[in-house]
Every structure is written in structure tokens, then in C-alpha cells.
Structure 1
Amino acid sequence: MATAWATQDAAGANAAATTPQARIEQASRALDAVKRAVDDADAPETLKTLSEQASQAQRDAEASVQALQPELTQLDARISQLGPVPEGGEDRDIARQRKALDLQRSQLNSDIARGKLLAEDARQASESIEKMRAQQFSEQLGRKVGSPLSPGLWRQFSEHLPDDLGRFDSLYRQASGGLLQATAKHGWTAPIVGVVLALLMVFPLRIWLRRLGRRYAASERAPAGRLRRTGLAVWLLLVGTVLPGLAAMVLVGSLRSISAIAPRLEAVADTFVAATFVGAFIAALAASLLVPSRPSWRLFDIDDLGATRLRRFAWGAAWLTWFTMLVRDVNRAARTSPVSTITLDGLVALTYVVLIMGMLVTLAALHRRRAAAAAEAEQQEGEGRTRPAKAPRSGWLVVARLGGHLAVFAALAATLLGYLNFAMFAAQQMVWVTVVVLATSLLMKFADDFALWLLAPDSAFGRTLRLSTGLPGPRLEQGGVLLSATLRILLVMLGITAVVAPYGNVSILYGGLETLTGGVNIGGKLLRPSAVFWSIVVLVCGLAVMRVVQRWLEDTYLPKTELDTGARNSISTVAHYLGIVLAVLWALATLGIGFEKLALLASALSVGIGFGLQAITQNFVSGLILLAERPVKIGDWVKIGDQEGDIRRISVRSTEIQVGDRSTLIVPNSELITKTIRNMTMANALGRIQIQFSVPLGTDVGKLRQLLLDIYQHNATVLDEPAPSVFIDSISGGQVAINSFAYVPTARSVYGTRSELLFELLQQAPANDIALVTPTDIHLVRDPSSSP
């Protein structure tokens, strides 16, 4: 395992100074070390490290392959310059050069193929290790141990308690012995200085910086708007997190400076620093968001009572997290019995459950108070009093309570059933996800306020930028919105990383970003992010130069000429567009897109643009004709091809028709002008129903006619005027063909009404002894006189 780490560290340190071939070799050795170490790895931390090393080997191999591709392209270009070998042979020097180039190309091809194979091998190894980690994690969560309600667990705990206390005593003697030996050799100066500095950071300095931030936020120098509150909240979060963590680092560093920490407690010391940072972060986040003593600075819409109680629970969560992280490492260092660890996990899980339940009770009370306030506001509005402020919505409270209840139920059930690992996971994940979501929300609000303030037209920076570049105010505001969106995306990615980091491999989550920095191959062209960045810089600079030249023409040169105003405006406009074209060409050249490719693209686009403009012009003129002549209008029921529906919108390019399945059919206006369209509601809004069927020749047609007229009359949709009519269409083949018509108020009801009439006809015809259809019978008659 140590060999794998050493190899990886060496590869990472020398990657920038080695050739791509050497990086491939180093990645191969690192991957071999990972494969050797993975068989003996059983701890999740070890597997995580091995997975990160395999992913790094994959990225190194892919980066080396990308670095070798330009060399291969250059060799191909040099070989192509030599041309094919002549039939009569070629000069000895050229043949020698051709042979050397072919040898170099063969070696490069071999290196590229090896790098691709190594990258695929590393990817598969990383996926295999991640599957092992997922399997171990699932087994750990599903492992059942003794329930805290089981007497057997406490009996075993009491039996192992003396031995565990002896192990703790031994660990304490090692710690105290190491401290006494170190102080006897180096004195107490370093530990005392460390303790004093830590206390100064935690109390006087932290309190002074908090007050300094509040005074600045309340002063006139602070930015106006919501940035005062979000900026203060971020400052309080930063001070409350960094200073306690630095104090822990100073304290541990002072002890390490004199080697006062026993070897078995080195990991405990590191966990002490990490736990202090995490606990301080949770407490500072609650203090910056809730602010119980200053409601006007509170970012969340929570009353004073709820803020005070929630802050107490937040302090409890911070201390419980700090205690859990530290005691677990102390248990591991003391090598206590498994039953003690199980008991400790059960008690911690139950404590988390109690803490979350307390938060849920507080949120429920807050929700009831807000509901009562909303009901009172509605009552006052109903009584005609002055309309009060709108009651705030409590959607986030409902979501928080629902998630909390689910987590409490899962953790409590798992604890009582003996699945303590799952209970700890559910409870801690609930607390940690809540902390990450709240922190991300705070930072996103701050990023939004900061970006909009920074690029506001009336801010100091925005005013300077506007005066120096000539950008209008709305453009600056758009830039602020785009900057805010970018910062929000980065913060969301950071929040996802914070949630995944304790349980997953973050390098795999963002491993593709490093591959992306190497470039993306598009159409045989390697497009690198750095080239895109510099092309954007060049485009901005080119547009700025164009604007300067245009202003010089308008304000300095053209007024000195004898040209009239129209000519000056024409020259200025041509210069403006010419500058834009040159800036775009310059930016494309920075991307590596040659002018020959631009010429081919322009020639291809010119034909396409010609046809496109022809179609657009045709549709535009057709739209004007439709709006003027109005052969169809909004609300008409039309049929085009096999589709029919209502016209909902007519624009200058296309017409939108809503068909029967509620989808929208977009028809170019030229189709409505050049093709045959059936407008069912243009001159008459009525709809006609036609029913055709046949009856046997012996049917009482008078009775049938009256039956049909009665059916039409009793249908509420069928109109009395025009009156329904029944006709005999033909008599042939022993059948009478009946054709009948009726009218309804609108063509849209034809289909449904016709179906109702057919249903009624099929029900009443048999009752009146009328056969609508008759089968064709074939009778075979044998002649009696014929022989069989």
C-alpha cells in the first residue's frame, strides 16, 4: 500500500517535467501498484485512495495521448511533403529521412495505442474498486447488531467494560507520558503559548471580528440593499468557522513541535482539528442565519422564539458531531471491544434522533404560529379592515418537516431493530445534508447580491467600467445576472461535492473536468478551453478597438471632411460592421480555425442562406395576404391534408392550428396560400351530419324514415332548422340504400353527435323490427332428375 502511495506522489510531482511517454510509463507503474494493493485492501479509506489513484492514472494516460496527437499530425504532414516513392527510386538522403520519419511515426502510434489501452484498463480498475466500495458500504449499512433495548447487549457491554476501561487507561498513560517526557525535554513554553493563542483566537479575536463586521454592515460605507445582510452573514460564518479551527490547529501544532503527541494519538489529533472545523461551521452557520438577538438582520423568515430554539438545537448538533468524530477515533486508538463501539453508536444514534425530534417540534410550532397569523390576516381582510401584509409562505417548513420525520422514523426503527450503522448513517446524513443545503443557500444569496451590486450601473466599479468602456447600464446589469448564474452553478457543484465527499470518491465525480481541460475533439480539431478563453478575450478586445475607431471617425475625422451627414453615417456604419467582422475573424483565428475553412463555410452558407431567405420571404408575404384577405382567421375550423383543427394564431411566418389531440400543428403560411384548404366555418358555422346505411328490400321504409326523424328530433344538439332529412339513395341487390342529413350548431360537434345518433339507431332499430344489415345467403338446389 505504501508503495502505491509513493508511486502516485512521485508521478504527481514530476508530471509537469516529464514527456508524455514517461507519464504513460509512470501511470502504468501506478496502476500496477494499485492492482497489487487492491487484493489486500479491506478498509473503505484504503479502497477510496486506490480508486483515486486509478482515476489519476487514467487521466494521466488520456492527457499523454492528447499530448502525442499533435506530434503525430506533424509527422504525417512531414511525410506527406515527401510524397510517394518514385518508381525509379529516390535519393539516399530522402530515403533515409523517410525511413526515420516512418520509424518515429510507428513509435508514436505504439505509444498512443499503449496510452489508450492503459486509460481503459485504469477506468475498469477504478470501476471495479468502486463496486467493491459500494458492496462494503451496503454490507456495513445492512449489518445487524444488538439492539439498545436488548438486555444481552448491555450484559456484554458490562462484561467488556473493565477491559475497555483498562485500554482507555493505557491510552491515557501513553498520552500523559508522552506529554511529560516532551515537556521535560523541551519545557512547557510551546504548549502554554499554543493554549494562550488558541484562547485568544476563540474568544477575544473572534468576538472582536464579529463586532467589527456588524459595525461595518450598519455603517454608511457598507453597500446598500440586501448585500449588507448576506455579506454580514458570510462574514460571521467565516469568522465563526476559521478561528476555532485555527485555534485547534495551533494547539495541536504546539504539541507536535515538541513531539508531545503519542504515536497512537496522531490520528486523534488530526480528527480533533477536523471535528473542530466541522462543529464550528455548524454553530457559525446557525448563528449567521438565525441571529436571535437581531431580527432585522435575519435572512430566514422565522420569529424570535423559533430562532432562539433552533439555535440551541444547532449548538447541540455541533457539539454532538464534534463529540462523535472525536470519540470514535479515541475508541479506535484505544482498541476497545466491538460491543463498546456498538453501544456507543446506538447511544449516539438515539441522541441524534432526539435532537432531530426537538427540531421538528420547534418547526411544527413555528408552522402553527404562521398558520394562525395567516388565518388572522384573512379574517381581517374579510372584515374590510386595512389589508395587512401578505402572510409568508411556509413551503420550506413543510419540506423540512417531511424530511425530518422520514429520517427520524428510519433512524429510530433501525436503532431499535439493531441496524445501528444504518441508523447512524440516516441521522448524520440528515444533519449534514441540512447543513450543506443551508450553507449553499446562504452562499448563493450572497453571490447573487454581490454580482448584482458589483456590476450595477450606479456602483463604484460599475460606474468606472461604464465610463471606461462605454457599456450601457442594461449591459452591465446583464453581466451581473450572468456572473450570478455562474457563481450559483459553482456553488451547487461545491454543495454536491460536500454531500458526496464523506461517502464517495469526489475525484470520479469531477474527473471529467480534468479531461475536458485537455481539449475536446470536434470535427478533427482539438478545441481547448484555454483557446476558447483567449478567443473570447480577443473578441472583446477587437470589439473595443472597433468602438474606439468608430468614435474617432464620428467625433474627430468625419466632421473635418466636406461630407454630408448621410455620408458620414454610412461610413461610420460600414466601419462598425467591418470592425465586427474583423474581430470575429480574429477570434476564430485564435481558436485555430483557418481562413480556408471559413471560406468553405461561407460558400456553403451562402447557398443555404439564399434558399432560407427565399422561403422566409415567401412565408412573410403569405402571412401578409392571410392577414389582409382573411381566407382563414383565428377561431376557424380548417382541414389541411389529413389534419383538422382550430386556428389559434396567425403570425407573419406561420400559423398555429390546434388539432383534436390538443397538440399544435405549425403550418408555414405559404402552405395556406398555395394549397387547397377546407374552411369548415368560413361562411357558415353549422356542421352537417351524414348517416348512410342499407336495409333489406322488404323493410317498411316509411316507418324507418319516421324512426330516423324521431331520433334526430330527440337529440338536443341537432337543429330544427335546417330540418333533418331522410332520402333513399338507391335500390339494388335486394337492398335499399338510405342517406340522411342533420345539422348541428358547430362543425366541432359533428363527430360526437353522429356517434350518439348511431348508438341510438342501433338500439331502436331492432326494437322496431328493422334490420340494418342482412347477410348474403347462398342456397344449393339439387336437380332430382340428375344422377348423383
Structure 2
Amino acid sequence: MRTLRLCLTLLCLVLGGAAAAQQQDGGFDYGPWEGTAERAEEALQSGQVSVPTLEALRTEIAGFRQRFIELQDTEAARIQTLRNQIDALGPPPEDGDEPAEIAQRRAELNRQLQQTSAPAVAAGEAYRRADGLIREIGAQIRERTAAELLSRGPPPVNPVLWPGAVQDMMSSLRALFVEVDDAWLSPARRGAFLSNLPAVILLSALGILLVARGGAWAESGTNWLRERTRRGTGIWRFMVSLGQIFLPLLGVIALLYAAQTSGLVFGRIQALLVQVPIWLTIFFYVRWLAGQTFSRDDDVATLPIETPRRAEARAYLSVLALLLVLRRVRIELSTFDAHGPETVAVLSFPLILLTGIVMFRLGQILSRARFDGEGEEALQRQDAMHLRLRVARFLGKLVMFVSAGAPVMAAAGYDGIAMATLYPMVATLILSGTVLVLLRVNGDLYRLITDRPVSEAQSLIPVLVGFLIVLSALPLLALAWGARVADLTELWTIFTTGFELGETRVSPGVFLTLVAVFVIGFVLTRLLQSSLRSAVLPKTKMDIGGRNAVVAGTGYLGIFLAALAAFGAAGIDMSSLALVAGALSVGIGFGLQNIVQNFVSGIILLIERPISEGDWVKVGDNMGFVKDISVRSTRIETFDHFDVIVPNGDFISGVVTNYTRGNTIGRLIVPISVAYGSDTRKVESILLGIAREHPLVMMNPAPFIYFSGYQNSALNFEIRVYLIDVLEILAVQTEMNHQIAERFAAEGIEIPFPQRDIWLRNPETLVGHGEPAHRAFAGEGQDVRAMPQTLQRRRGVAGDPE
């Protein structure tokens, strides 16, 4: 152990010395970088370097660029400290008259700043050179790729090219059979085969059994599990269904291993057999995906279209999987035997044509997709599948367009355009089906964990997971449509490197730091608000409105401080935002003046507290209780239990009536009228007794009965009392009116009704010849005796004997 500790100590000393020496020498050797940059510039200038060589150069330069990014951040803290020291000295005098000690100190700090900043400056210059070279290499590769796609090759429909292509293909197949014959004719290989024959037979039998029955076994296991499980059925069913891929694939691997064990495989056959697992993985996966997407079972099908169309879609996808395998075989054979462009074009065209026909039929099925199902549960599923069906219809139309155009382009000799559109569309279909299956598995997994379906849980977690699944499929989609891995890594580098904001580089790390610090500050603010609301403020003598104002103000202040702390922790210089803030201030002044006015009014309401939560207020035509005071508006709940959102500016600039400001004491006025001839003193005594007897009426100030005056047919009185709780004003007024009616009826005091006196001048003009006066006056079917007595008396005064 002592020896081990000694060795570790020596190793640390050596490494520390090397690091110190490297730091003293500048920390980075720019020699290799200069050589790589010069080679890249020569390659770009010549334009004769192959695309793989350019890709290798780009990868090498990208590594240097990443190193330069790291070097730019070295000594950042020390540089900032030196700048702060120089700023502390203040600006140099304009006349140059500065004390010698300060001038010497300023010069020393500037010298240290230049020396410390030198590595970062050099790294910044190298970074920009590397970034420019990477962009130039990418542009040249894209130009070459576009030129290759748009180039016209030999048209495969030309019959002159067919004999040569058939002869080349037959030569490739004949070479395979020749290798088999050579292997069998070799005594050594034949002897090895005979010695390993039992193992070959066993592996072959196992492989054939798995290939023939593996998919059926997996399907039977899925059905058995569906019948015997309840919770988590979807997950278990999905896991068992994967056997439709892996069991046949294991059978293929067993057959390949049997072929390797036989000793009869070598050369190109062995090279082709190495590719067979990849080809058959594609074949089995596409078939499995067809079964998952267009399954007969609605619980499994991720795109439950009409039942007759599902079987047709599964068949077309199986044919498509076979065509994809044949295309890979053709590519391998053409690579082995170095087929010419004429042979490649002729051999590729039938596969492109058949793939286009199959894809066109699939596009028709998708473009006419309709939901298949009946009943309430089916309607719910239809709502959930509405977006999927819309996407499927759009994708179907796009597939039909591409699959119809690709064979035409291939027939015209533009084989590159045909393959660059048709097969990426095939990959798009496969990727879309995979995403749908993963989304279904996401919902099944959530149901397994929570025992609740996603449609009923209303949870954000499965939605976010589904969004991540779709987002992760975008890079694969880009690769399928011709994007290079270098393009994706470049986007990732730009994302991780960030962008410069003033003198600060904003990167994902800076952003995460900003978000984390702000979230921590926000949580602490909410905890402080909760403590004030529940533990601290209730023990003070502050009213409810003041407590709410303190809690709200604490929240706004805490959020503001959390934002400042987040910007500071992320290293973002707030002064760099001054220009942006100045530009936005003009827009705020004109376009957002109402919002700013309401915001300032909200702050004033929280400070002055003319209204508080729970107050009964009237502002404009709105009356109700204040439920919430926010920064921009105040929420009032009316007596009809409607919420009215009133801008805070109306409370500051308008007239506001607060019925319960500071206390709930309020005055009630109950008007009452009595008929002429009533004893006014008795009426006053009765009303005063009713007022004093009510429990909510205050005795100080004492109730008062106001004899307000005379009306045409009534004597007007008012009960004026102060209530302990003005919120009960309607109940008190209702009770007083009941008692007034009861007491007046018991005392014989009449509550008058409206009366009118009618004076008839020259009534003889209203009487016709031989017509009774009372009919002329009262009208046909009426009687004078039905008129009010007062009216009859007045008619008698007029001298009418009737």
C-alpha cells in the first residue's frame, strides 16, 4: 500500500508538472490545427476531393472547433475581475492629468488583462476560421449531391440496354453457384461438412421451425395473454408481439450459423449471408408494423380504418417489405461485380415501378381512411383518432403524388431523383407507423402504472412523453430524406454552443441554470407567501385586506428578485439588455399603455388599499364583492354569482363606492307611506318600535323616524337605522316590511293606493239625444256604480243627476 501511494503521488506530480508546463506554454498547440486548416482550404479550392474525404476533414475540423469553444472560456473569471478593477479606477482624465500611482496601476491592470485575454482571443479567431471552413465544406457537399441527383443517366426503358443488364445479372448469379460447386468439390470442405452434419441438421431444423412457426407462436401468446390479464394488458401484449420479429430472426440466425458450420460458405456468399440478418430484420419488422397498425383487433390497431381495408393494407406492406429486401440484394450484387450505370438503371427500374404501384395503393387507402366502429366507446375512440386520421389522409395524398412521379422520373433517366423521393417516402411511412405504436405503448404504460386510461386521467405526463417521442423521430426523418449525420451534428453543435447576447454566450447550460435558479426562487417565494398567510399575518392585528396586500406584494417582489438572481447566476450581463429595453420602451409607451396603466394602478391599490378582498363595492354599473386583486385587474363577484373582471385603472380614475371599507356598519332606509287622516304620532311610534326590536339594528346611533313630507295621496315616512352588518341589509329590510304590514293592519292604519280626481266641464256635450248620461260617460257595458266613489261624488258636483 505504501508503494502504491508513492506511485500515485509521483504520478500526480508528473501530471501537475505537465499541466503547468502546458499552461505556461499557452495551453494549446496550434500547429496541427494550422496544418488541418490549410489542407481543408486547398481541398475546397481544388474542388477535386471526394465527398468522403471532405466529410473526414469536416469531422476533424469540428473536433478542433469544439476545443476552441472550450478555450474561449478559460480565465473568464480572472478577465472579469481585471475588468472590474479597471472600472473601479474610473475613466482616465481627458486632460491626461492623473496621479502617478493611479496611472501606473491602470497600466499594470491593462497589461495583465491583455496577457490573460490572449489565449481566449486566439481561440476566438481560430473558432471563427474553423466554423467558416465547416460551412464551406457543407455547402460544397450539398452542391455536389444536388448535381448528382439532377444528373440524367441512361433511361432503363431503352430496349438496347436490356440484354447487357440481363447478362450482368446472370453472371452475378452464376458466380454464386460456381462458389457453391467449388466448395462442394473441395475435399477438405466436403469433409468438414460431413463431420459437422449433425450440428448442421439440428441448427437447420431449429431455424426452419422458428422461421415457419415463430410468428404464429407469438400471435398465440398474445391472444392467450389478452384473455388472462386485465391490468397492463397492452404492455404485455406488445412485449409478446415482439416475438413476431425476434423468433423468426433467431431462426434465420440459426440457419446462417448452420451454413457457416457446414464449411461450404466463403467469398461473396459469405459476404451476402452477413447482410441477410439485416435484410430479414427489415422484412419482419415491416410485417410486424403492418400487423400493429392495421390489426383486426381495434384495441391493437393504431390506425383503425375500415375492416376490409386493413387486410389489404397489411398485404401491401408485406409486399413492400419483400421489395425492400430485393433492393438491398440488388445493391450488394451490383457492388460485388461493379455493374455499370446502364445495368444499375435497368435492374433498379422494375423494383422502383413495383414499389411505386404498391405505395400508390397504400396512399389511396390512407387518403380515404375512415374510422371503423360503432357505439359510445367507438365514438370516444373516433374523437381520439381524429387527428391521426387527418394526418393519415394528408400523408396518403403525398404518397400517391410521390409514388406516381418516381417511376416516371426513373423511366426518363433521372434515377437519382426517383430513389431520393420514393424510398424516403417509404421510410416516412415506416417511421410514422413506429411513432404511432410507441404512442400507444406510452398510453398502455401509463395505464399500467396508474390503472387509469389516458383519456380519463387528464394528465400532462403522457402528453409530454408523446411529444418527446414525436420530437425524437424528427432527426430520423431528416436522415431518411437525405440529411447527413454531419448536418445533424452541426445543428446540435449550434444548439449546445448557443448564441451571443452582448458579451455573454447563451447556451443550453446557461438557459438551464437560469431556469433552475428562477424556479428555486419562485418556489421559495411561494413558501414564504404561504407562511405569511397561514402562520405570521394571522397573529397580527392587520385586517384581511392588509394581509392579502402584504402577501401579494411579497409575491411580486420575490418573483422580481428571483428573475434578477437567475440572470446573475447565468452570467448574463443586464447592461447588455439595456438597448433592447430602450427599444421596447417606445412600443410599451404606445401599444401597451393600457396594460402599463392597469399595472401601475394595481400596485397603487395594493399600497393604498382603498379596496380589499371581501369588500362590497360598486364601480360603474358593477356591484359585488371583491374576490381577487391582481396586477392588471380585479375580480368582482356579483350578487348573481357572476365574475366581472374590472381593469385596475377604473378603480383609480373612476368613482368607486365601498360599502364595507374598514367595517361592516351601514345605514338602512326603509320608506313607508300612510293614507291621509292617519295619526302621524302613532305611525312614528309604531315604526320606532319596529326598528328598535330588530337585533341587527344599532342603538347608537339611535334609530330615527323621518317624516319626509306630503304626497298627492299619502304621508311619507322613513325608518333610518344603522345595522351591525350591512351585508344583511336585504334581510333586515324584508323583515321590517313584514312587521310594518302586520302592525298597520292591527292598528287600522291604511297604506294608500294612487287616486285621481276627474272634473267634467260641460258634461251635457257628452250626452246624445235620448241616450242616458251614465252610458255616454261610462261606455257600453259599464255602470257608474262600478266607478270609484270619489269619481261618483265629483260627477254629482258637476250637476249631472245621473
TM-score grouping bracket, smaller chain normalisation: 0.5 to 0.7
1:287 CA drift (Å): 1.0
Distance 1:238 1:273 in 2: 16
Change (3 A) 1:257 1:414: same
1:497 alignment counterpart: 478
Alignment of 1:561-600 (within 5 A): 561=539, 566=544, 570=548, 573=551, 577=555, 580=559, 583-593=562-572
Alignment of 1:220-231 (within 5 A): 222=231
SS across alignment from 1:297: coil
Give, as a single letter, the amino acid of the residue that structure 1 aligns with 2:306. Answer: D
1:505 CA drift (Å): 0.9
2:276 alignment counterpart: 272
Residue 432 of structure 2: which of 428, 434, 437 is its match? 437
1:414 CA drift (Å): 3.9
Distance 2:190 2:572 in 1: 67
Give, as a single letter, the amino acid of the residue that structure 2 aligns with 1:74. Answer: R
Distance 1:529 1:187 in 2: 63
1:665 alignment counterpart: none
Which stretch shifts more, 58-67 or 523-532? 58-67
Distance 2:364 2:230 in 1: 41
Residue 491 of structure 2: which of 512, 522, 540 is its match? 512
Contact between 1:27 and 1:61, CA under 8 Å: does it hold in 2? no
Distance 1:115 1:185 in 2: 61
1:31 CA drift (Å): 5.3
1:692 alignment counterpart: none
Contact between 1:240 and 1:280, CA under 8 Å: does it hold in 2? yes
Task: State how many pairs are aligned.
Answer: 574
Alignment of 1:41-56 (within 5 A): 47=51, 50-51=54-55, 53-54=57-58
Distance 1:422 1:278 in 2: 23
Distance 2:534 2:647 in 1: 41
Distance 1:605 1:342 in 2: 61
2:162 alignment counterpart: 154
CA deviation profile, 1:611-646 (whole Å, cap 9, x unmatched)? 7667448999xxx99999xxxxxxxxxxxxxxxxxx
Where structure 2 has 5 or more consecutive residues not aligned to the other structure, the ranges are 1-21, 603-617, 623-644, 655-802
Change (3 A) 1:107 1:627: same
Distance 1:262 1:40 in 2: 42
Distance 2:584 2:353 in 1: 69
Residue 509 of structure 2: which of 530, 541, 560 is its match? 530
Residue 68 of structure 1: which of 43, 61, 72 is its match? 72
SS across alignment from 2:483: coil
1:533 CA drift (Å): 2.2
Residue 112 of structure 1: which of 124, 132, 139 is its match? 124
Give, as a single letter, the amino acid of the residue that structure 2 aligns with 1:222. Answer: R
1:434 CA drift (Å): 2.4
1:344 alignment counterpart: 347
1:124 CA drift (Å): 0.8
Change (3 A) 1:80 1:173: farther
Contact between 1:59 and 1:514, CA under 8 Å: does it hold in 2? no
1:121 CA drift (Å): 1.9
1:605 CA drift (Å): 11
Residue 306 of structure 1: which of 309, 316, 319 is its match? 309
Distance 1:143 1:516 in 2: 40
Give, as a single letter, the amino acid of the residue that structure 1 aligns with 2:551. Answer: T
Distance 1:346 1:47 in 2: 26
Contact between 2:62 and 2:134, CA under 8 Å: does it hold in 1? yes
Contact between 2:435 and 2:473, CA under 8 Å: does it hold in 1? yes
Change (3 A) 1:174 1:241: farther
Where structure 1 has 5 or more consecutive residues not aligned to the other structure, the ranges are 1-17, 378-386, 463-473, 629-650, 655-667, 674-788
Residue 143 of structure 2: which of 126, 131, 149 is its match? 131
CA deviation profile, 1:537-581 (whole Å, cap 9, x unmatched)? 44444444555566566666777x576884995598369626555
Change (3 A) 1:256 1:158: closer
CA deviation profile, 1:477-509 (whole Å, cap 9, x unmatched)? 574376257425514524523532xx3313314
Residue 521 of structure 1: which of 484, 495, 500 is its match? 500
Distance 1:581 1:104 in 2: 36
Distance 1:484 1:266 in 2: 43
* TM-score, normalisation: structure 1: 0.55
Contact between 1:455 and 1:477, CA under 8 Å: does it hold in 2? no
Alignment of 1:719-758 (within 5 A): none
CA deviation profile, 1:197-221 (whole Å, cap 9, x unmatched)? 9779867877666666666666665
1:316 CA drift (Å): 1.1
Change (3 A) 1:434 1:481: closer
Contact between 2:221 and 2:240, CA under 8 Å: does it hold in 1? no
Residue 114 of structure 2: which of 102, 105, 108 is its match? 102
Is 1:57 paired with 2:61?
Answer: yes
Residue 281 of structure 1: which of 265, 278, 285 is its match? 285
Change (3 A) 1:616 1:400: closer
Which stretch shifts more, 313-322 or 175-184? 175-184
CA deviation profile, 1:272-324 (whole Å, cap 9, x unmatched)? 343333323321211111113x2453232323322112211111111221121
CA deviation profile, 1:677-703 (whole Å, cap 9, x unmatched)? xxxxxxxxxxxxxxxxxxxxxxxxxxx
2:672 alignment counterpart: none
Alignment of 1:708-719 (within 5 A): none
Residue 320 of structure 1: which of 316, 320, 323 is its match? 323
Give, as a single letter, the amino acid of the residue that structure 2 aligns with 1:126. Answer: G
Give, as a single letter, the amino acid of the residue that structure 2 aligns with 1:436. Answer: L
Contact between 1:64 and 1:115, CA under 8 Å: does it hold in 2? yes
Alignment of 1:530-549 (within 5 A): 530-545=509-524
1:737 alignment counterpart: none
1:114 CA drift (Å): 2.3
1:105 CA drift (Å): 3.3
1:125 CA drift (Å): 1.9
Distance 2:567 2:261 in 1: 57
Distance 1:39 1:245 in 2: 49
Is 1:413 paired with 2:408?
Answer: yes
Alignment of 1:695-706 (within 5 A): none
2:692 alignment counterpart: none
Give, as a single letter, the amino acid of the residue that structure 1 aligns with 2:346. Answer: T
Distance 1:57 1:168 in 2: 44
Give, as a single letter, the amino acid of the residue that structure 2 aligns with 1:284. Answer: W
1:155 CA drift (Å): 3.1
Contact between 2:537 and 2:547, CA under 8 Å: does it hold in 1? no
1:143 alignment counterpart: 153
Distance 1:326 1:565 in 2: 84
1:61 CA drift (Å): 1.3
Contact between 2:514 and 2:570, CA under 8 Å: does it hold in 1? yes
Which stretch shifts more, 294-303 or 56-65? 56-65
SS across alignment from 1:300: coil
RMSD (CA atoms):
6.2
Which protein has the larger Cα radius of gyration, Structure 1 or Structure 2? 2
Contact between 2:156 and 2:349, CA under 8 Å: does it hold in 1? no
SS across alignment from 1:521: strand
Distance 1:267 1:424 in 2: 25
Distance 1:42 1:619 in 2: 71
Which stretch shifts more, 585-594 or 83-92? 83-92
Contact between 1:452 and 1:477, CA under 8 Å: does it hold in 2? no
Distance 1:427 1:598 in 2: 49
Change (3 A) 1:283 1:39: farther
Change (3 A) 1:270 1:523: farther
Alignment of 1:162-173 (within 5 A): 163-169=171-177
Identity, in percent, stands at 15
Which stretch shifts more, 112-121 or 252-261? 252-261
CA deviation profile, 1:228-263 (whole Å, cap 9, x unmatched)? 76x578657755556666776788799999999857
Change (3 A) 1:498 1:193: farther
CA deviation profile, 1:585-627 (whole Å, cap 9, x unmatched)? 554443235899999999999998997667448999xxx9999
SS across alignment from 1:504: coil
1:420 CA drift (Å): 4.8
